[in-house]
């Protein structure tokens, strides 16, 4: 887990939205097979960080990005193919977005776009991903139903299944448990631990305890600045290197 080249490197990353600064000079690594927790109050730039990695930030018109983001040592902003880059990164947004198509098609969307045509391959992939997202048992008999008809929590798991469908090397989760009940959350957390043997995970979360349960290391963002990053236990212990971290993780503010 240590001494390898980082999977993802954010280097002096600064992001402006018009006049507003969303991220200020953030330098952060994600190591291979690591779950990196990212905590911080609302508006601290957590989501922006994820969107800078898969370059969906560019869909926001007035976003200005400075600094470097590297995936396996390659600058993502010089990637030869944007779709190919994005397929290497799974993204789970905080509010579930079931695309207006069947459950099956939702999960098969990305593989199809990448050119997978074989029905057997797709069937297998859809099942694996739905099982991993703890949704298979609930939907296996109605895969042809509209994805948008599922409940909020089910749709959220559908987006997780979808994010896994293109077999990403990095999985980004943005407050995935916001619409899910605690029991399902626990099931997915188990899946994440399992997945981290194979892939690297960026876990943005509002639940500091979730970071504590899952993350190998945790980064604390505050108003666009990286306050500190380190082994999770250190951050949650008695003496994090910054007093603001202590206040936040112990619920003094935020």
- Closest contact distance (angstroms) between CB of 158 and other proteins is 11
Is 83 a residue that touches other proteins (CB under 8 A)?
yes
Which of 7, 31, 46, 87: binder of other proteins (CB under 8 A)? Answer: 87
27, 64, 235, 251 from 16: Cα distances, Å: 16, 5, 28, 29
- Closest contact distance (angstroms) between CB of 170 and other proteins is 12
| Cβ closest to other proteins, residue 98 vs residue 224 | 98
| Cβ closest to other proteins, residue 95 vs residue 252 | 95
Which residues are CB-neighbours of 146 under 8 A, at least 6 positions away? Answer: 98, 100, 101, 102, 103
Closest CA to 76 of 191, 217, 172: 172
From CA 124, how far away is CA 198, in angstroms rounded? 19
Tell me whether strands 35-39 and 217-222 are parallel, antiparallel or unpaired: parallel
Binding letters toward other proteins, positions 46-75, x by CB under 8 A: --------x-x--x-x--------------
| Cβ closest to other proteins, residue 204 vs residue 229 | 204
Is 14 a residue that touches other proteins (CB under 8 A)?
no
**69 DSSP β-pair partners:** 10
SS3 at position 7: coil
Residue reference for tokens 């989501």: 47
Is 159 a residue that touches other proteins (CB under 8 A)?
yes
- Closest contact distance (angstroms) between CB of 86 and other proteins is 4
The alpha carbon of 77 is separated from its chain's Cα centroid by a whole number of angstroms, namely: 19
Interface contacts to other proteins, rule CB under 8 A: 54, 56, 59, 61, 82-87, 89, 91, 93, 95, 97, 99-101, 109-110, 113-114, 146, 159, 162-163, 165-166
């Amino acid at each position: 887990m240590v001494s390898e080249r980082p999977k993802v490197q954010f280097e002096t990353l600064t992001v402006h939205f018009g006049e507003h600064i969303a991220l200020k000079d953030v330098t952060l690594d994600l190591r291979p097979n690591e779950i990196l927790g990212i905590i911080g109050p609302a508006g601290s730039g957590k989501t922006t960080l994820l969107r800078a990695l898969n370059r969906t930030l560019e869909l926001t018109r007035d976003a200005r990005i400075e600094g470097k983001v590297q995936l396996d040592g390659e600058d993502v902003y010089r990637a030869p193919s944007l779709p190919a880059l994005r397929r290497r990164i799974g993204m789970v947004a905080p509010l579930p977005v079931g695309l207006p198509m069947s459950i099956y098609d939702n999960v098969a969307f990305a593989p199809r776009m990448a050119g997978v045509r074989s029905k057997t391959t797709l069937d297998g992939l859809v099942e694996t991903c739905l099982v991993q997202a703890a949704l298979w048992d609930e939907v296996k008999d109605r895969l042809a139903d509209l994805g948008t008809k599922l409940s909020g929590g089910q749709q959220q798991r559908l987006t997780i299944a979808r994010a896994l469908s293109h077999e990403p090397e990095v999985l980004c989760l943005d407050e995935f448990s916001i619409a899910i009940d605690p029991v399902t959350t626990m099931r997915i957390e188990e899946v994440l631990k399992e997945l981290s043997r194979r892939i690297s995970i960026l876990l943005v979360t509002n639940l500091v305890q979730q970071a504590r349960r899952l993350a190998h290391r945790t980064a604390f963002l505050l108003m666009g600045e990286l306050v500190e990053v380190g082994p999770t236990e250190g951050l949650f212990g008695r003496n994090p290197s910054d007093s603001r971290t202590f206040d936040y993780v112990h619920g003094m503010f935020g």
